[in-house]
Amino acid sequence: MTVPDGCNLLRNIKLKISYDGTNFSGWQRQSLSNGSRTVQNEIERALEKIHKKSIPLIGSGRTDAGVHAVGQVANFHTDILSIPAENFVPALNSILPPDIRILESSEVHSGFHSRFDARERTYRYFIHSLSAIPAHEFPYCWPLFRRLDIHRLNDMASVLSGEMDCSVFAAAGDKSLSRSRFFYGAHFFPEGSKLVFEISANAFLWKMVRSILGTIIDFEKSGKGRDDFLALINSGERHKAGQTAPAKGLFLWNVRY
Amino acid sequence: MTVPDGCNLLRNIKLKISYDGTNFSGWQRQSLSNGSRTVQNEIERALEKIHKKSIPLIGSGRTDAGVHAVGQVANFHTDILSIPAENFVPALNSILPPDIRILESSEVHSGFHSRFDARERTYRYFIHSLSAIPAHEFPYCWPLFRRLDIHRLNDMASVLSGEMDCSVFAAAGDKSLSRSRFFYGAHFFPEGSKLVFEISANAFLWKMVRSILGTIIDFEKSGKGRDDFLALINSGERHKAGQTAPAKGLFLWNVRY
């Protein structure tokens, strides 16, 4: 769908997208016949309504079933000239279901590609370690019901820096050509009564953030630390990693270009 | 259900309750045969499971369909001695659906009554005046899509103080014996990208908070101010009040005893 630079027949529109993943089978388009609701399907259906024809949407990457987003990025090519770029926000939001909200839209150069041009993806994971979680926050966090040692957690998180082989965090069925990823950083910080895990990398394997977090949380509980975590990564032995944290605590937070 | 002071046959347990009102037809128990889901029904069903018999739950007051809570209070009498009062939190939460969460439980004197003893109810209403609202906040706010003059809003809110006749904010079908209520205060304040309206009174009429807020918001838009708002209240003429704000922005925040 990319057009050569200088070709002005099509405008290229970049969207910043938020969604509540609770009732979605993830981002990725699926055959409508199987009945699953996906974010890409819903937005492409809204674009089709505006354009009276099928318009493919290019996302920065997939998010899994149940994962939320406040900073997903996607782009599409359009030959509609009458809608100012920023007006795709209200135009799409008026058609989309309330669990998808377009936050920004802007015109970008014709060669811009949401996936190939993305340099850094940032995720945030929200943990509640208290027993008392307000009901309206329950769908967006992992309730752990125990006190966590944030110093020990950050000691393990600090290992995730630079280029690393991430085979140990690959989900069964992962088909990636390379499992090497470049980490910009990972850390835990408190936010009100929540604990937030933020992690940034050039890209992530399927379910990788949830596998990293679940492992760090399991290691903290069993008294393991930084050296054990590093040894695990170097071993590449998937069965030694910890649980996969629940999807509902995870947000795709930002994509940098 | 109240027992005389000094009668120790029954323990009286006070609960602090949070719920996401999105999928409830309000607080108030309804005949189960009509298929509506209510918060009181769900908690009474959980109490019945624990007690193997029907246990009536006394709430501080009703909330309408779609209204949320982080500080609803209710109490029930129990003859179970083996459960420490604070353990009703995990016991009930393990049975309740995730959109109801018990936040606290404690034993109170046998004469305590959640409704009759409540001295002050506080509600908060969340408004988003931006066009860009993250999807996971959309079910808990009123999206207004225009800039509001907070000074003018607070000028009107400051009228709500002391004892006032609230007939102008009574919903059609209101059956209250008296429409006089005592206001402890009302004001607007910013919180991140949201605007919060907080209001406290001894009690509220049905849909009253939403009628007050909807009227203030309408008056702000049409350039009316404090004097117009006061004149409206003194007129008692319901048809001159503004719209009723949507339920989804409203939270029962606290009940004081």
A90: exposed, middle or buried (C-beta count within 10 Å: 0-12, 13-18, 19+)? Answer: middle
Which segments within chain B are labelled E, that is strand? Answer: 11-19, 58-59, 68-78, 100-108, 120-128, 142-143, 162-165, 180-191, 194-201, 250-256
Percent of all residues in chain B with a pLDDT value above 70, rounded to a whole number? 95
Residue A131 is predicted with a pLDDT of: 67
Question: Which residue of B103, B134, B140 is in closest CB contact with A18?
Answer: B134
For residue A100, the chain B residues in CB contact (below 8 A) are 135
Cα gap A250→A141, rounded to integer Å: 7
Q: Give the DSSP letter of residue B234.
A: H
Q: Which residues pair with A15 in a beta bridge?
A: A74, A105
* Contact indicator for B231, B50 with CB cutoff of 8 Å: no
Q: A3 CB near a chain B CB, below 8 Å?
A: no
Interface contact flag, B98 A135, Cβ < 8 Å: yes
ipTM score: 0.81
CA-nearest of A27, A62, A17, A39 to A205 is A62
Other residues' Cβ atoms within 10 Å of the Cβ of residue A35: 8
Residue B120 has pLDDT above 90, yes or no: yes
Mean pLDDT of B215-232: 96
Residue B3 has pLDDT above 60, yes or no: no
Residue B192 is predicted with a pLDDT of: 84
Mean pLDDT of B86-94: 95
What mean pLDDT is reported for chain B? 92
Interface contact flag, B131 A89, Cβ < 8 Å: yes
Which residue on chain A is closest to B19 by alpha carbon? Answer: A135
Question: Which residue of B69, B70, B136 is in closest CB contact with A140?
Answer: B136
Pair of tokens at residue B169: 């904010």
List of residues 6+ apart from A8 with CB closer than 8 A: A110
Q: How far apart are the first and last CA of chain B?
A: 19
Which residue on chain B is closest to A132 by alpha carbon? Answer: B103
Of these residues, B5, B64, B79, B99, which one is catalytic? B64
Which tens digit of pLDDT belongs to each residue from B34-83? 778 999 999 999 999 999 999 999 999 999 999 999 999 999 999 999 99
Q: Give the DSSP letter of residue A178.
A: -
Interface contact flag, A135 B100, Cβ < 8 Å: yes
Q: A225 CB near a chain B CB, below 8 Å?
A: no
In angstroms, the separation between the Cα of residue B133 and the nearest Cα of chain A is 7
In angstroms, the separation between the Cα of residue A98 and the nearest Cα of chain B is 7
Residue A33 is predicted with a pLDDT of: 62
Q: What is the mean pLDDT of each run of 10 residues along chain A (257 residues)?
A: 51 98 92 81 97 96 95 96 94 96 96 96 93 89 91 97 93 82 96 93 94 97 96 92 95 97
Which residue on chain B is closest to A19 by alpha carbon? Answer: B135
Of these residues, A20, A64, A99, A228, which one is catalytic? A64
Cα gap B213→B196, rounded to integer Å: 11
Look at the alpha carbons of B76, B77, B79, B81 in this order and tell me if their dihedral is positive or negative.
Answer: positive
Mean pLDDT of B208-215: 96
Question: Which residue of B69, B135, B140 is in closest CB contact with A99?
Answer: B135
> Which of residues A144 and B251 earns the better pLDDT score?
B251
Question: Does the active-site annotation cover A64?
Answer: yes
pTM for the full predicted model = 0.86
Other residues' Cβ atoms within 10 Å of the Cβ of residue B102: 23
Cα gap A6→B146, rounded to integer Å: 38
In angstroms, the separation between the Cα of residue B229 and the nearest Cα of chain A is 33
Residue A9 is predicted with a pLDDT of: 55
A50-80 burial string, b = 16+ CB within 10 Å, else e?
beeeebebbbbbbbbbbbbbbbbbbbbbbee
* Contact indicator for B5, B109 with CB cutoff of 8 Å: yes
B157: Cα separation from own chain's centroid: 18
Cα gap A108→B33, rounded to integer Å: 56
In angstroms, the separation between the Cα of residue B6 and the nearest Cα of chain A is 32
